[in-house]
Structure 1
C-alpha cells in the first residue's frame, strides 16, 4: 500500500517520465532540512538535447535472450536516437536486432481499468509490436541505473525513496501500471511513491524563496488559492489548491486535463507542410528519410518552437529537408501549392517559413484548448487568484502571452504567472514531496469508489431479480450491491480513514474475503448514488483481498471492517477483524 512506504528517507530520487522529455533529480535528507532549494538535477545527457534538465523520452534496446524480457538496454534519451541513426547509416551492425522506442507514455491514457481490457502495445521504429509494460519498465530501469552510475557513492544507501511522477488525469489502472513497471525495474514497493505532476508543481511553488513567491502573486501565502497548469509535450494537467494557515495544501476540486501539449505544435507544422505541397509523394518520401535526417529536422524545429517570442520582429527559419524529399522536389513529384504561401522550399535544400507563421497559426489551436480547460476550473472555483504555468511547453513566450491574453478577457482579476524555471517545477516538487508526503491535508475524490457486496434482502427497496438464497445461512440476500466507501467530490483528509464497512464470510471455513472494487465516474452526492454494480456507470477496477487464514473463529465472529484511505495518489485499504482488533493485509489490485 502507498501509505506503507518509508517515511524519512535519507535520499529521495524523483523520476519524471514525460511524453516528450524525461529526467531525474535528487536530494539528501540533510539538504532538505537545511535548504529545500538545494535539489540536484542530472544535466549530463549528451549533446543535442534541447532541454538541459531532461533528455528525450526514447530508449534503444537489442535482442538478447539472457536479458530481462529478452531485451538488453543499449542506451536511452538523445543518445538512443543518435546511436540508432548511426546503426542504420553505417551498416556495421544488424539493424533488425535493434529496437528504438519514442514517446510511448501517451499510450497509457488509453488505459481505463475496465474488465477484459488488453494492455496496449507499443511499436518500435520498424513497426514491430512489443508489450508497453516491458518497455516502460526498461526505461525506468535505464534512468535508475544512470543515476547510480553517475552518483556512485549512493549505491550502498538503502534508505532511498524513489518518486515516480504520473499525470493527475490518469486512471487508477494506469497509475498501477506505472507502479508495477517501477517494481519490474528493481524498485521495491516500500521504496516507491507516486506523485501527481501538477500537485508536485504546486509543492514546488509553495517552497519557492519569498522573493520568487512575491513575484508570482504571493502564491505561498496562507489563504491563497492557485491553479497549477503543467504543460508538457503531450498533455495539459491541472490541479487547484488552497494554502492552509499551517502551510499545508488543500485540493479544491478534481484534477482536470486534456491531451494537448507541445507535440500538437509539431503535428500542426507537419500537417501544414502536407497542405502546402502538391503531390502524393510528400508523406511517402518523409517516411523514407533516414533516422539522422528526421532526428535533425525534429530537433531543429523543437528548438525554434520554444525560442520564438510572442511579439518579436519576423524572422526566417530554415530546416534541412530529407534527401528523399529534395530529390522528389527536383523531379517535380512534389510541388509548392501556389495558393499557399506559408511554407516554401529554398534552393531545393531547406524548408523555409517565417516566425509569424509559427506564432500565429501553429500555436493557436493548442493555446485555445489549454485555455478552455483552465476556464472550466475557474468557472467553478471562484476563489482562485493565480494561474501558474509550468512544464516544458510553458517555457514558450508564445504560450505564456496567449494564455494571459485569453484569460484576461474573461477573468481580468486572475494573475497568470510563470516561475523562473518552469521546466524544473514538477521534478523539484516531486523530490520535496518525497521528503514531506503529507504536505497535502486533503484531496478531492474524482469518482465514487465502493465494493460489490450483499445485503439482507428487503422487499421494499431491493430489485426482485437480485434476490439470492444462501443455503449455508438460510437467508435471502440482495446481490450486486454497490457499497460506497468514497463519494465523488468528497474531500478526504490525508491519513484519515473513511467510515468503515463491515463484512463477514458467507461460507463455513472461508479463509479469505474477496470484494470486487467498483468505480462510478458519474455517481456522487449531487448526482444520486448507484444502488447496483450492474448499473451502466459502474465499472470494476480491481479487488480488495482480505486474508483470514490466521483465525479459526466461527463466521459470525469474523467481522472485518474495511476502510479506504484516499490520501495518496492511489487508494489504500486497511482491514481490521473487529473481535480481536487485528489488522489484515488488504490491497487494491487494479486488474493488474
Structure 2
C-alpha cells in the first residue's frame, strides 16, 4: 500500500467517527467520511460514543446500534448488560493503572477493555468500509497510517493509555508502532479550517477571505463534548504554522451542560424520583439525555418527551397535580416537559465562564490575534456562539465552520499525510536529562543542581519550550556507569510544566541491556513524537529504541533492535 493510505479516528466524548484517504501518491483528494445511522433513518458524520457488553462482559455493539438495543431493553434485562456512554473523560486526571469505570446502572468494568473494544469496532468498521469501496477482500491494519486524536489537555499518561488501547484493539502491532500518530484535536481541526473558503463558515463577520499571509494569528477553540482545548498559531513564511501558546483548556465541554440538565431533572421531579427512574429504566433515562443533546443547540426554550414510567413514578410520589415542582423554570403540559430559555441558559453558565476565563488569559498574553476558530460539536450551540461573539467579537474575527463537528477528523487525515505542515510546536513541559552526581556546593549555581524525589542531581537540559516538529534535530547524550560493578543503567527524562523549576517530576523508561560500558542516547525531533535510541558504545550491537509521545516525558514503547 502507498504511504498516503491514512485512517483517522476521532474518538470523542459524545460522538466518534473516522475518515480516510487512499489516494495514490501525487493525487490530491479530500478525506472520505463515514456516515452513520442510515438503518435508523439518520445520516450523521459521527455515531454516539457508547458501547454495549453482554452480561458476561463480551462485546455486543457500539454507537447507534448499542444505543438502540439498550433503549429497547426492559428494566431487568438492561441492568444485566453493561452500557457505557460519555466515558472518554474518565481518564482525565485519574490514576490509570487498573482503572475501572461504571456503566449506566453502576456496574464496574476495566477502562482499558471499554476503550480498546470501542477502538476495535471503529478499526474493523473502517477496514470493512474501505474494502467495500475498493472491492478488495480484506485489508491488514498495518497497510495504513493510523491517526488517533486526543484532547490537548490530556497529559502523557492519558496518551499512553490510548496507545495501549490501540495496541489491544489491533490498530498497531509489535514492531509497527510508527504506524500510529497521536494528534491533539485542536491542531487537527485547525489544519482543516485552513483549507475552507469563507462561505463554508456559519460565523464569518462578513469576511471576504481568510488571510494566510505571514504573521496572521489564529486562536482555535475546540469545543468538544468533554474537553475545551485552545491553542494559538501564527502563519510563517512558506505557509508553515508556528504555535505561539501552549495548549490550554479544561474539562467543561458539552457534557458539563448535560450534567447540569441531569441535576435539573433531579430537582424538578419529586425527591428521589429521577434516581429511581434512572436505576429501574436506564435505557429510557438515556433516551432523554440523547434527546437533550440535540435540543441544547437551540437558543430558545425547549421541550422534551415525558416517558410514561417516569410520569407514573412522579404521580405515585406526589400526586397527579405535582408531577414537577413549581418555580424552577419548567412546567408539564401533556406528554412533554417544557423548559424556559433562561433556565436552559443557566445550564451553560459553568462551561461558558470557564471558556471565557481561559480566553481572557490567552488574549492578555498573546497580542494581535486576527481570527478565532470555533470547532467541535459543542461549537454548534447558538448559546455558546452568541456568548463568544459578545465577549470577543471586537478583538478578532470569529469563525465557525458549517460542519464544526467534522473538522478534527478531516484535519487528522491531512496531518497523517503531511505532518510537516505543523512547523513549530510549543511543548507544555520543560525536559531535562539528569545524571546522579555528588553535590558540589561550589558549583551549585554554575551547574544548576536540582532535587528529584529527595536525591540531589545535576542536569543536562534536553529541551525546554518550543520543541520543533519537523526540525529533524538529533541530540546525543553519553552516560557511563556510576560504579564498576553496575549491571543495569536507566536513561531518565524529567519534566516540569514550569519554565525554571526547582523540583522536577520524574518518569523512567525501562532499563537497557545489562552493561558496564558507556551508553549513548540519541534523541531525534521531527514528528509529533520524540524518538530515542540507546546504544551500547563498546559493541554498537546492543541497541534499544523507544518512542516518546510528543508533549510527554515517558517512554511509550520499547522495541529491541540488534542491528547496527
| TM-score computed with the length of structure 1 as normaliser | 0.80
Cα shift at 1:435: 0.4
Cα shift at 1:356: 4.9
Cα shift at 1:491: 4.4
The CA deviation string for residues 227-256 of structure 1, in whole angstroms up to 9 with x for no partner, is 111101111011211111111111112100
- Partners of 2:470 and 2:390 in 1: CA distance: 37
Question: Is the 2:295–2:302 Cα contact (8 Å) retained in structure 1?
Answer: no
Please state if 1:458 is matched with 2:440.
Answer: yes
- Secondary structure, in 3 states, of the residue corresponding to 1:492? coil
Equivalent positions of 1:546-561 (< 5 A) are 546-547=512-513, 555=517, 558-561=518-521
Distance 1:292 1:276, change over 3 A: closer
Choose from 434, 457, 466 the match for 2:416. 434
Please state if 1:34 is matched with 2:27.
Answer: yes
Question: Is the 1:288–1:324 Cα contact (8 Å) retained in structure 2?
Answer: no
Map of 1:231 onto structure 2? 223
Map of 1:398 onto structure 2? 383
Map of 1:103 onto structure 2? 86
Distance 1:482 1:73, change over 3 A: farther
Question: Is the 1:544–1:586 Cα contact (8 Å) retained in structure 2?
Answer: no
Question: Is the 2:105–2:279 Cα contact (8 Å) retained in structure 1?
Answer: no
Distance 1:200 1:301, change over 3 A: same
Please state if 1:419 is matched with 2:385.
Answer: no
- Partners of 2:429 and 2:42 in 1: CA distance: 39
| TM-score computed with the length of structure 2 as normaliser | 0.84
Choose from 304, 320, 327 the match for 2:295. 304
The CA deviation string for residues 282-338 of structure 1, in whole angstroms up to 9 with x for no partner, is 3333324523422321222122112x14xxxx5552432451343323552665433
Map of 1:542 onto structure 2? 508
Map of 1:169 onto structure 2? 153
- Partners of 2:23 and 2:509 in 1: CA distance: 36
Distance 1:579 1:590, change over 3 A: closer
Map of 2:110 onto structure 1? 131
Cα shift at 1:355: 4.0
Please state if 1:494 is matched with 2:479.
Answer: no
Map of 1:351 onto structure 2? 337
- Partners of 2:105 and 2:249 in 1: CA distance: 32
Question: Is the 1:301–1:319 Cα contact (8 Å) retained in structure 2?
Answer: no
- Partners of 2:22 and 2:356 in 1: CA distance: 38
- Secondary structure, in 3 states, of the residue corresponding to 2:193? helix
Equivalent positions of 1:463-482 (< 5 A) are 480-481=456-457
Question: Is the 1:18–1:232 Cα contact (8 Å) retained in structure 2?
Answer: yes
Distance 1:517 1:322, change over 3 A: farther
- Secondary structure, in 3 states, of the residue corresponding to 1:368? helix
- Partners of 1:219 and 1:426 in 2: CA distance: 21
Question: Is the 1:443–1:493 Cα contact (8 Å) retained in structure 2?
Answer: yes
Distance 1:87 1:181, change over 3 A: same
Q: Where in structure 1 are there 5+ consecutive unaligned residues?
A: 1-5, 65-70, 468-477
- Secondary structure, in 3 states, of the residue corresponding to 1:44? coil
Question: Is the 1:448–1:484 Cα contact (8 Å) retained in structure 2?
Answer: no
The CA deviation string for residues 160-196 of structure 1, in whole angstroms up to 9 with x for no partner, is 1111001111111111110111011102213211111
Distance 1:574 1:211, change over 3 A: farther
- Partners of 1:216 and 1:462 in 2: CA distance: 58
Question: Is the 1:542–1:591 Cα contact (8 Å) retained in structure 2?
Answer: no
Please state if 1:572 is matched with 2:531.
Answer: yes
Distance 1:33 1:354, change over 3 A: farther
Map of 1:248 onto structure 2? 240
- Partners of 2:14 and 2:184 in 1: CA distance: 17
Map of 1:506 onto structure 2? 482
Map of 1:21 onto structure 2? 15
Question: Is the 1:19–1:104 Cα contact (8 Å) retained in structure 2?
Answer: yes
Cα shift at 1:578: 6.3
Choose from 530, 541, 544 the match for 1:585. 544
Please state if 1:77 is matched with 2:71.
Answer: no
The CA deviation string for residues 524-562 of structure 1, in whole angstroms up to 9 with x for no partner, is 1xxx343xxxx3xx222332644476xxxx73xx24144
The CA deviation string for residues 419-458 of structure 1, in whole angstroms up to 9 with x for no partner, is 2211110000001100012221111111122244223542
- Partners of 2:441 and 2:458 in 1: CA distance: 17
Cα shift at 1:570: 4.0
Map of 1:190 onto structure 2? 178
Cα shift at 1:499: 4.4
Distance 1:492 1:96, change over 3 A: same
Distance 1:61 1:292, change over 3 A: closer
Please state if 1:446 is matched with 2:428.
Answer: yes
Cα shift at 1:75: 0.9
- Partners of 1:108 and 1:563 in 2: CA distance: 29
- Partners of 1:591 and 1:33 in 2: CA distance: 33
The CA deviation string for residues 329-385 of structure 1, in whole angstroms up to 9 with x for no partner, is 355266543333x111223x3312234542x32233322221222222121111321
Distance 1:542 1:105, change over 3 A: farther
Map of 1:473 onto structure 2? none
- Partners of 1:439 and 1:272 in 2: CA distance: 45
- Partners of 1:50 and 1:235 in 2: CA distance: 26
